[in-house]
Structures are given as structure tokens and as C-alpha cells.
């Protein structure tokens, strides 16, 4: 359930939560095996683990336990929620520690904010909420630093019941600041990691209110009356991009962004993709950024991008191109 909270100068800075960054996205898919193969062989993310009891599969390049997750839309987790293939399950925002997650959750619930559910993922504890445009988001904190010891191969461990405060929270950060990045040698693309999600919204003011005053992302660019807004976490990188709906922009999740090391490497991958018959939906060069879009087997758009010299100045982005550049 979404709750309206007035945005003030103080809540824009901190909100109830304070996410570091976007950690991953999770998609409802028709065939987990097919999705895993595409993201490994084409998009260059390594298979990490599967959860057959829940109909799930997860890929990562080593940055974290997963950059992208897949849930069988007709499986034991998807079917009860009325899921359909090609539908976003959720986007996930990483917090500094479980202690911060618990304190933030307590502040939010005391203020009347309601959430969908809380979950123990064994390596992370999570709170799920619903945004004003119907996008489900996960606020989570890792509670195990050596996640590969518990999340590799086939995972069948049952998930115990958990709620913030039910167990003593882990106080120290459990994420890795500079993890070794793995490379899938024969893949077409070689992204470094998932960085952001783009969402098309009908009510920019209401969306900004929720993502700043409740979730606690910071407004890096844009305003309620603008065509787009960029929201960042405490790592000071864009995590969520909001773009106003229009005739050619339908409301809802639009794409996930994966950063590539360089424009030159991205160019090589595009050539390889075309030689392999991989369809490029769109290839945009604007404001020092090259952004290439590939559509996965369930119709999700994936943006692979690289910059000539760091992030382009946001005021140099053409509003009409913002959805495909940011």
C-alpha cells in the first residue's frame, strides 16, 4: 500500500530510509532457463544460483549476490500474486546495514507508512513496499558478507519468518565496496554491474514525493514540473530515473541500466551482437554517452551504456531523449 507524505527540505535529504544504491531488479518470466541463458550468453552476467522451490534464478558479475533475478510467473511465488511474464517483480535498493534498515522501518511505520511484506532471504533481510505508480520496491540490507558460501548453485534452504526487530540486527555493513568483477568470456556484452532503473510516471510530483520522502533517495536533477528526474542514493550515483508519461511513453517500468567499462568496449560488443544476430532495439549517442538497448526473451528492455568522460552533465540531456539516455 502506498502512503502520501508531504515532501519537506529535510525529508528530501534523508527520508525514512537512506539507500546506498540500486542493487538489482527482479523480473517475472515465462521460462527461467531461457532467461538465465540469455543474460549469461548475451548480456554477460554469470549464473550464481537457483531456487527451485520458489522458481527463481539469479545472475551477477560478482558485484553482489545478484544484479538481475528471475521468478517463474506461473511458479509458486508468481502465480499467487497474479504475475505474468514480462512484468517487473520489483526493484531493490541496498541499505548500509541491517541496523539502519530496522531503525528506518520503525520510523516509517510509526509515521503511518505501510508495507507489503518483510522477508528473510538468508543472506539479506528485506522490506517490500509499493510505489505510487504500482512499482514494487525492496529495501534490503545484506547480513552475510561471504554470500557465495550460502548462495551458489542450487539453494533449497527454507526461509524462516522474519520482521524488523525479531532478531538482533547486524550493525556492520556486509556489502563489498570493491568486489572482483567476473567476466563471461564468450558473452556478447560485458557489463560491470546494474546501476539504475527507469520508470515512466503519470504523476511526477507524487512519484518524487514517495521516492524522496519515504524511500529516501536524493533528487540529483529535475523537479515536479520537469520532463524527467534523476534520483540517487548515498553513493551519489543515479539509482532511479523518473520520466513523465507521454503519447509514446507508457506508464510503468521501462528499462534497467547496465554500465560497461568504456565506449570502445561497448562498440566492440555491438559489432559482435550484430554478427551474432542479436537485435539492437536502439543505439543512441548523446551528451557523451552511448546507450544501446537490447530486448530480452520476455520483452524487458536492457540498456547497456558507457560514457566518454564520466557522467554527462544532466542539464545537457535533451528532455525528449532522456528516457533513452539516462
User: Does some domain include residue 4?
Assistant: no
Q: What is the pLDDT of residue 159?
A: 79
What pLDDT band is residue 7 in, cutting at 50, 70 and 90? very low
Q: Are residues 113 and 25 in the same domain?
A: yes
What pLDDT band is residue 93 in, cutting at 50, 70 and 90? very high
Sorted by sequence, the CB contacts under 8 Å of residue 33 that are 6+ apart come out as 57
Q: Are residues 133 and 258 in the same domain?
A: no
Q: Are residues 136 and 202 in the same domain?
A: no
Are 325 and 317 within 8 A, CB to CB? yes
User: Does some domain include residue 183?
Assistant: no
The mean pLDDT of 231-257, rounded to a whole number, is 94
What pLDDT band is residue 8 in, cutting at 50, 70 and 90? very low
**9 pLDDT above the threshold of 50:** no
**192 pLDDT above the threshold of 70:** yes
Q: Which residue has the higher pLDDT, 306 or 156?
A: 306
Q: Are residues 150 and 197 in the same domain?
A: no
C-alpha to C-alpha distance for 26 and 296, rounded to whole angstroms: 13
Residue 252 sits in a domain whose CATH number is 3.10.180.10
Are 255 and 301 within 8 A, CB to CB? yes
**18 pLDDT above the threshold of 60:** yes
**3 pLDDT above the threshold of 90:** no
Q: Are residues 146 and 195 in the same domain?
A: no
* Total residues found in the chain within this entry: 326
C-alpha to C-alpha distance for 258 and 303, rounded to whole angstroms: 6
Query: pTM for this one?
Result: 0.93
Are 126 and 139 within 8 A, CB to CB? yes
**299 pLDDT above the threshold of 80:** yes
Q: What is the pLDDT of residue 14?
A: 63
Record the cell numbers describing residue 312, joined without a space. Answer: 554527462
User: Does some domain include residue 160?
Assistant: no
How many structural domains is the chain composed of?
A: 2
pLDDT tens-digit readout, 103-113: 999 999 999 99
Q: Are residues 75 and 143 in the same domain?
A: yes
Residue-number span of the structural domain to which 198 is assigned: 191-325
Q: What is the pLDDT of residue 165?
A: 86
pLDDT tens-digit readout, 205-226: 999 999 999 999 999 999 889 9
Q: What is the pLDDT of residue 298?
A: 98
End-to-end CA distance of the chain: 28
User: Does some domain include residue 181?
Assistant: no
Q: Which residue has the higher pLDDT, 261 or 310?
A: 261
Q: Are residues 74 and 144 in the same domain?
A: yes
Q: What is the pLDDT of residue 10?
A: 35
User: Does some domain include residue 319?
Assistant: yes
Last residue of a domain, one of 127, 154, 181: 154
The mean pLDDT of 80-90, rounded to a whole number, is 96
Residue 131 neighbours by CB distance under 10 Å: 20
Q: Are residues 34 and 140 in the same domain?
A: yes
Last residue of a domain, one of 99, 128, 154: 154
User: Does some domain include residue 221?
Assistant: yes
User: Does some domain include residue 9?
Assistant: no
**Strand pairing report for 289-295 and 238-244:** unpaired
Q: Are residues 23 and 145 in the same domain?
A: yes
pLDDT, mean over the chain: 92
User: Does some domain include residue 80?
Assistant: yes
Are 144 and 122 within 8 A, CB to CB? yes
Q: Are residues 141 and 232 in the same domain?
A: no
Q: Are residues 202 and 321 in the same domain?
A: yes
Q: Are residues 266 and 315 in the same domain?
A: yes
Q: What is the pLDDT of residue 34?
A: 98
Last residue of a domain, one of 126, 154, 182: 154
**2 pLDDT above the threshold of 50:** no
**311 pLDDT above the threshold of 90:** no
DSSP string, 216-227: --EEEE--TTSS
Amino acid at each position: 500500500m502506498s502512503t502520501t507524505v508531504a515532501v519537506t527540505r529535510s525529508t528530501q535529504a534523508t527520508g525514512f530510509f537512506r539507500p546506498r544504491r540500486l542493487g538489482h531488479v527482479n523480473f517475472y518470466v515465462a521460462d527461467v532457463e531461457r532467461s538465465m541463458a540469455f543474460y549469461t550468453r548475451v548480456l554477460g552476467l554469470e549464473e550464481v544460483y537457483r531456487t527451485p522451490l520458489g522458481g527463481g534464478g539469479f545472475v551477477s558479475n560478482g558485484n553482489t549476490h545478484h544484479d538481475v533475478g528471475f521468478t517463474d510467473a506461473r511458479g509458486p511465488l508468481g502465480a499467487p500474486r497474479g504475475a505474468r511474464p514480462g512484468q517487473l517483480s520489483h526493484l531493490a535498493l541496498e541499505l548500509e546495514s541491517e541496523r539502519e534498515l530496522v531503525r528506518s522501518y520503525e520510523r516509517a511505520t510509526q509515521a503511518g507508512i505501510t508495507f507489503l511484506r518483510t522477508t528473510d532471504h538468508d543472506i539479506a533481510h528485506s522490506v517490500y513496499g509499493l510505489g505510487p505508480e504500482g512499482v514494487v520496491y525492496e529495501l534490503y540490507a545484506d547480513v552475510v558478507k561471504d554470500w557465495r558460501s550460502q548462495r551458489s548453485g542450487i539453494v533449497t534452504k527454507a526461509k524462516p519468518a522474519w520482521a524488523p526487530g525479531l532478531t538482533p540486527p547486524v550493525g556492520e555493513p556486509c556489502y563489498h565496496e570493491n568486489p572482483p568483477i567476473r567476466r563471461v568470456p564468450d558473452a556478447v556484452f560485458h557489463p560491470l554491474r546494474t546501476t539504475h532503473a527507469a520508470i515512466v510516471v503519470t504523476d511526477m510530483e507524487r512519484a518524487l514525493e514517495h521516492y524522496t520522502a519515504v524511500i529516501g533517495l536524493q533528487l540529483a536533477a529535475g523537479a515536479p514540473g520537469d520532463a524527467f528526474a534523476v534520483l540517487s542514493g548515498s553513493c551519489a550515483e543515479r539509482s532511479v530515473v523518473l520520466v513523465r508519461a507521454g503519447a509514446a511513453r507508457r506508464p510503468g517500468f521501462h528499462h534497467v541500466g547496465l554500465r560497461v567499462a568504456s565506449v570502445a568496449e561497448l562498440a566492440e560488443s555491438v559489432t559482435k551482437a550484430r554478427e551474432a544476430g542479436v537485435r539492437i532495439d536502439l543505439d543512441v549517442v548523446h551528451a557523451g554517452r552511448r546507450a544501446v538497448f537490447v530486448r530480452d526473451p520476455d520483452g524487458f528492455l536492457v540498456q547497456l551504456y558507457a560514457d566518454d568522460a564520466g557522467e554527462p552533465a544532466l542539464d545537457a540531456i535533451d528532455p525528449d531523449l532522456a528516457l533513452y539516455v539516462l
